[in-house]
Amino acid sequence: MFRQTKTVLAKLQNVRLKGLHLSWRRRSTAAAAAAAGEKAHQYTAGQQIHGFTVKEVVAVPELFLTAIKLTHDRTGAQYLHAARDDPNNLFSVQFRTTPMDSTGVPHILEHTVLCGSQKYPCRDPFFKMLNRSLCTFMNAFTASDYTMYPFSTQNAKDFQNLLSVYLDAVFFPCLREQDFWQEGWRLENEDPANASSPLVFKGVVFNEMKGAFSDNERLYAQHLQNKLYPDHTYSVVSGGEPLAIPDLTWEQLKDFHATHYHPSNARFFTYGDLPLEQHLKQIEQEALSKFERIQTNTRVPSQPPWASPREEHVTCSPDAMAPDAARQSTLCVSYKLGDITDTFEAFTLSLLSALMTSGPNAPFYKALIEPKIGTDFSSVVGYDGSTKEASFSIGLQGIAECDADKVKNIICQTVDRIIESGFEDERIEALLHKTEIQIKHQSSNFGLSLASYIASSWNHDGDPVELLRINNSIREFRRALQENPRFLQDKVQHYLKENSHRLTLSMSPDDSYLDKQVSAEERKLQEKIAALSDSDKKDIYEKGLRLLAAQSQTQDASCLPTLKVSDIAPTLAATPLHMTKAGDVPLQLCEQPTNGLVYFRAMCSLNTLPEDLKLYVPLFCSVITKMGCGSLDYRQQAQQMELKTGDMSVSPQVIPDCAHMDVFEQGVLLSSSCLERNLADMLQLWADIFNNPRFDDPERLRVLVMMSAQELANGISYSGHVYAMTRAGHLLTPAGELLETFDGMDQVKFMKRIAEMSDLTPVLRMLPRIKKHLLNPENMRCAVNATPQGASESVRHLENFMTDVAGKRKRFKAVRPNVIQRPLDVDNISGACKTLVADSNFQPCHMKTFFQLPFPVNFVSESIRTVPYSHKDYASLCVLARMMTAKFLHGEIREKGGAYGGGAKMAGGGLFSFYSYRDPNSVQTLSAFGKGVDWAKSGKFSQQDIDEAKLSIFSAVDSPVAPSNKGMSVFLSGITDEMRQRHRERLFDVTQGNLLDVAERYLSVGSKTYGVSILGPENDAIKKDPSWVVK
Helices (H), 860-940: 874-884, 923-938
- Nearest distance in Å: CB 107, Zn ion: 6
The 10 Å CB-count burial string (b at 16+, else e) for 910-921 is bbbbbbbbbbbb
Provide the pairing of β-strand 389-399 with 376-377. Answer: antiparallel
Q: Which residue from 56, 92, 51 is spatially nearest to 72, judged by alpha carbons?
A: 51
Q: Which stretch binds Zn ion (CB under 5 A): 8-16, 274-282, 426-434, 469-477?
A: 8-16
Total binding residues toward Zn ion, as defined by CB under 5 A? 2
Q: End-to-end distance of the chain based on CA atoms, in angstroms?
A: 24
Choosing from 13, 14, 607, 673, the residue that interacts with Zn ion (CB under 5 A) is 14
Q: Which stretch binds Zn ion (CB under 5 A): 6-14, 117-125, 489-497, 566-574?
A: 6-14
| Cβ-based nearer residue to Zn ion, 14 or 222 | 14
| Cβ-based nearer residue to Zn ion, 37 or 104 | 104
Distance CA 895, CA 920 (A): 12
- Nearest distance in Å: CB 127, Zn ion: 13
Q: Which stretch binds Zn ion (CB under 5 A): 12-20, 324-332, 432-440, 702-710?
A: 12-20
Q: How distant, in Å, are the alpha carbons of 129, 449, 838, 844, 939 from that of 1008?
A: 32, 43, 22, 11, 19
DSSP-derived secondary structure letter, 512:
T
Distance CA 607, CA 774 (A): 9
- Nearest distance in Å: CB 17, Zn ion: 9
- Nearest distance in Å: CB 267, Zn ion: 21
Provide the pairing of β-strand 329-339 with 376-377. Answer: unpaired
- Nearest distance in Å: CB 208, Zn ion: 5
| Cβ-based nearer residue to Zn ion, 14 or 334 | 14
Distance CA 460, CA 228 (A): 18
Measure CA 354 to chain center: 22
| Cβ-based nearer residue to Zn ion, 243 or 805 | 243
Residues 189-228 that bind Zn ion (CB under 5 A): 208
Residue 862 appears among annotated catalytic residues = no
Coil, helix or strand at residue 914:
strand
| Cβ-based nearer residue to Zn ion, 107 or 327 | 107
Q: Which stretch binds Zn ion (CB under 5 A): 10-18, 224-232, 753-761, 954-962?
A: 10-18
| Cβ-based nearer residue to Zn ion, 14 or 378 | 14
| Cβ-based nearer residue to Zn ion, 17 or 975 | 17
- Nearest distance in Å: CB 141, Zn ion: 9
- Nearest distance in Å: CB 108, Zn ion: 8
3-state helix, strand, coil in the chain (%, to 5): 45, 20, 35
Does 112 bind Zn ion (CB under 5 A)? Our answer is: no
- Nearest distance in Å: CB 660, Zn ion: 41
| Cβ-based nearer residue to Zn ion, 208 or 466 | 208
Coil, helix or strand at residue 620:
helix
- Nearest distance in Å: CB 111, Zn ion: 6
Q: If you write DSSP's letter for every residue of 637-685 in order, what string do you get?
A: HHHHHHHH-SEEEEEEEEEE-SS-TTEEEEEEEEEEEEEGGGHHHHHHH
| Cβ-based nearer residue to Zn ion, 111 or 336 | 111
Contact 686, 630 (CB under 8 A): no
Quick one: angle between helices 698-728 and 734-743, nearest 10? 140
User: Which string of x and - marks every residue 151-190 that binds Zn ion (by CB under 5 A)?
Assistant: ----------------------------------------
Distance CA 732, CA 654 (A): 14
- Nearest distance in Å: CB 110, Zn ion: 7
Q: Which residue from 605, 578, 604, 606 is spatially nearest to 591, judged by alpha carbons?
A: 578
Residue number closest to Zn ion, CB atom: 14
Q: What stretches of 727-818 adopt beta strand conformation (E)?
A: 780-786
Contact 836, 1015 (CB under 8 A): no
Q: Which residue from 399, 401, 1031, 326 is spatially nearest to 716, judged by alpha carbons?
A: 1031
| Cβ-based nearer residue to Zn ion, 14 or 391 | 14
Q: Which stretch binds Zn ion (CB under 5 A): 9-17, 321-329, 611-619, 856-864?
A: 9-17
| Cβ-based nearer residue to Zn ion, 13 or 155 | 13
Q: Which stretch binds Zn ion (CB under 5 A): 14-22, 59-67, 664-672, 977-985?
A: 14-22
948, with CB counted inside 10 A (0-12, 13-18, 19+), is: buried
How many Cβ atoms sit within 10 Å of the Cβ of residue 198?
Answer: 10
From the list 38, 56, 62, 110, the catalytic residue is 110
Residues 6+ apart with CB under 8 A from 909: 656, 661, 664, 729, 733, 735, 736, 868
- Nearest distance in Å: CB 93, Zn ion: 18
Hey, which residues does 49 pair with through a beta bridge? Answer: 52
Binding residues for Zn ion (CB under 5 A): 14, 208
Catalytic residue numbers read: 110
